[in-house]
Chains A and B, each alone.
Chain A
Amino acid sequence: MAEVVDPQQVVVERRGWTAGRDFLIAVAVFAILWLGLRLLRNPDTFAGMGPLAGKLAQALLALALGIGGIWAVFIVVNTLVEHLPVRVAEFVRPWVFVLPALFVVGVYLVYPAIRTIIQSLTEVPEGEGFLANYIDAFTDPDVQIALRNNVIWLLIAPTASVIIGLAFAALADRVKRESLAKTFVFMPLAISMVGASVIWGFMYAWKIPGQPQVGLVNAVIQGLGGEPIAILQQVPLNTFAMIVIMIWLQVGFAMVILSAAIKGVPVELTEAARIDGASELQNFFKILVPSIRGSIITVFTTIAIAVLKVFDIVFVLTGGNLDTEVIALRMYDEMFRFRNFGQATAMAVILFVAVVPIMIINVRNLRKQGIGS
């Protein structure tokens, strides 16, 4: 008589066995990760390799641990979740993926933000009220200049970027080598702010009149018989000269998004308008622009946020001297040069408050377009 094996029994046993195995694997993975991190943190690990090889090895190990580690952790934890009863697993699984992200955002973003706000209210000179830092901030002439400059930046840079980007997108739509033309406009976006500032620092360079001008702008001026201008030293020309850099950097971004939006406008619409006798300009302003309104707002607000936080350009080119101060640079100076934490955090909060409304507009607009929910 053959032994009767209950198939159900086999499955359960096998499950128990694989669960144990997976658990051990998970423990091993975490142990390896932990050891790897310890190795990474220990300065002696790479000491014997020489400076370049050591740095390289450290970077490789960090990459392997970072990317491979996250991947391994998700796989392992997901496998463990599989072993839970189906109902529980369904409930737990999303959290496995979301919790780490929430934790990171909480530790690195939410907590510091709250701390910053508290500090801006409590780090005040003795005997002064909660708002002392803010009162100081709004009465300090340097900060007033910074606030004024941020408004100027905000009024000019996003508007100009969108207008130029839109014009270029609409025009490039009709040329033969569209992608080539767009590539050139897009390229500055690949350059870092600091890099762009250094480049433009040379563009604006000034030598005394009559001598060879190394700066392109002044070389042209002098070549045409004019007097070279110390662009970055002239108030208020210097602020506008720096806004130009921001526009140069952002036009590419505006163009790419708006160009894609224009391509999404149904040809029937513009064709119909043309047949009805609309001029090209009418077609552009009355048909095209309203159709891509959502994209325009997205681009505008995204650039506006970048502009509000502008720091690098001013830091590199004028250091905030000669009436070019902006809020982010002021915050840096108070924090790292003057060590006035109260003032610095107050600046951070002011900047934060200024960005929030724009963020709200941006998110609302994205929702309207059906991106996000």
Chain B
Amino acid sequence: MKKRKWSIALVALAMLLAACAESSGGSTTTAGGTEGSTTTAAPSEGSTTTAAGSVGATPYENLNAAMAGDYAGTTVEIVAQWAPDGAEAESFDAALQPFRDATGIDVQWNPTVEYETALQVRVDGGNPPDLAQIAQPGKMAQYAAAGSLVNLSDWFNVDQLTQDLCCGFVDMGSVDGSLYGVFWKTDVKSIVWYPIQAFADNGYEPPTTWDEMIALSDQIVADGNGSPWCISIESEAADGWVATDWMEDILLRTAPLETYTAWYNHDIAFNDPAVLHAAELMHQIWFTEGYAYGGSDYINATFIGNTQDPMFDAAGPQCWMQKQAAWIPGFWGENKDFTDPAEWPNQPGEDVGFFYFPPIDEAYGNPVLGGADMFVMFNDRPEVRALLEYLATPESAAPWIERGGFLAANKNVPVESYTYPNDELATMTANATSFGFDASDLMPADVGAGTFWSGMVDWVAANGEGTEAVFQGIEDSWPAG
């Protein structure tokens, strides 16, 4: 165990050093990236002329100093929501280890339960951690407005970050042009899982357009093969969020990104015609007779981890397609009984694969819907800066990628380093024409975690009747001001 940790650390450190040596040539570190988009060619000329020099430099000032051992012996506290005792917590700790080893800085990482409330309480109490992970840009903006966060724009190499991060994450991490959050990990939601062998046996092809997807759905119904779609939204205190993802994904495909942005900012009404149009398309899949397995009762009464159970029925798939993010494989059929993914009877990529949730209107390209985790800074000390800068480098993702289940917000992480399904997801994200951040996470919680969710549940209970009234109700619930 211990040995393994060490080897990971060494590998990662080696990667880091190699990458640094390679990139330090063109990236004009010391000048703070004034030249902007210099090409990363020619490592030959002046590759050792950068400031810190001795070890091989990163594009980040404090990180270089830390690597030179300037802050050895200091302590940085970082908090994140990754469940204590879970694989995610271990993976995150592994990701911090190379930094600890390379700098001698003691990074303390304390998993917390009830994470968001606990963080709020610590900030309210004037005892915030040095760095904290946050998933909602809205929450970040709240902390920034309250003056709790360190403005990173003053010293962070933002140009480098802009080159590295995908998906407009620099903008998402900024408030009024000031950077507060550095995105690190992302989740992509625009994928649909399907049983590979059963598809082949029946001559079904993963659809590449919306029309093909509808045609396939009709085909499955016509073949008497059960229902094309596995859909359900029961999720304890969060019933309905799966439906909001559908709405967002469809809206991204039927309207410009500006409309999407205006929608969650409430610059247009929640029930804008564009949104109602998206609802109509969603209605087609959710409420067409015979499409969704078990109908609206099944959708509302079935826990999201059990949505796809009929896909793994002993008598063959009873439902064929499920739109859900990459966390779902652990819930496939008997997979629930095993903690080690290697033992799963239903392997992602072999037994069940995914296709990209197809585009609808060519004008809006191939968008991707997702969420992402960022780090924000509460206490400004050089060693804290160094860790935040480290988390901006592609190398910081390596240990977790190796352990699986990580998609980096940094687009310069080599695609080859990923395993399935994240390799394909990384490619998909890289090829996306736009990245829509989960809108319900950006709306005020009253709506995004309140009436939007409950409205979707009501809509399903009414079997898709009264669409306009449902969306009008959500619009009316938008908090004033």
Contacts and interface: CB of A to CB of B under 8 A. Distances in A.
Contact of A208 (B117, B297, B453, B457): B297
B446 A126 contact: no
Interface in B254-313: 293-295, 297-298, 300-301
A233 B461 contact: yes
A294 B480 CA distance: 50
A340 B481 CA distance: 13
A338 B461 contact: no
A336 B117 contact: yes
B237 interface: yes
A277 interface: no
A206 B301 contact: yes
Contact of B445 (A140, A315, A322, A337): A337
B458 A321 contact: yes
Contacts of A266: none
A252 interface: no
Nearest to A127: B481
A230 B444 CA distance: 31
A322 B480 contact: no
Contact of B461 (A125, A126, A319, A322): A322
A146 to B, nearest CB: 12
B122 to A, nearest CB: 14
Contacts of B454: 142, 320-321
Contact of B297 (A126, A206, A333, A340): A206
A217 B238 CA distance: 25
A263 interface: no
The A interface is mostly helix, strand or loop, or mixed, namely loop
Interface in B439-463: 444-446, 449-451, 453-454, 457-458, 461
A318 B450 CA distance: 13
A333 B117 contact: no
A165 to B, nearest CB: 32
A265 interface: no
A132 B257 CA distance: 36
A235 B296 CA distance: 13
B201 interface: no
B98 interface: no
Nearest to B298: A208
A322 B117 contact: no
A206 B300 CA distance: 10
A93 interface: no
Interface in A269-326: 315, 318-322
Interface string B125-166: 000000000000000000000000000000000000000000
A141 interface: yes
Interface in A219-238: 230, 232-233, 235
Nearest to B449: A337
B301 A233 contact: yes
Nearest to A230: B297
A339 interface: yes
Contacts of A232: 301
A185 B346 CA distance: 46
Contacts of B240: 321
B236 interface: yes
A232 B297 CA distance: 10
Nearest to A206: B301
Contacts of A339: 445
Contacts of A336: 117
Nearest to B481: A125
Contacts of A206: 297, 301
B239 A321 contact: yes
Determine which residue in B236, B446, B449 has the highest number of CB atoms from chain A within 10 A of its CB, and name it. B446
A321 B117 contact: no
Interface of A: 125-126, 140-142, 206, 208, 230, 232-233, 235, 315, 318-322, 333, 336-340
28 contacts: A125-B480, A125-B481, A141-B473, A142-B451, A142-B454, A142-B477, A208-B293, A208-B294, A208-B297, A230-B297, A233-B300, A233-B301, A233-B461, A235-B461, A319-B236, A319-B237, A319-B238, A319-B239, A321-B453, A321-B457, A322-B458, A333-B450, A336-B117, A338-B444, A338-B446, A338-B450, A340-B446, A340-B479
List of 7 A-B pairs having minimum Cβ-Cβ separation, nearest first: A230-B297, A208-B294, A321-B457, A338-B446, A338-B445, A233-B300, A230-B301
Given A321-B240, A339-B445, 14 more contacts: A125-B480, A125-B481, A141-B476, A142-B477, A208-B295, A208-B297, A233-B297, A318-B239, A319-B237, A320-B454, A321-B453, A321-B457, A338-B446, A340-B446
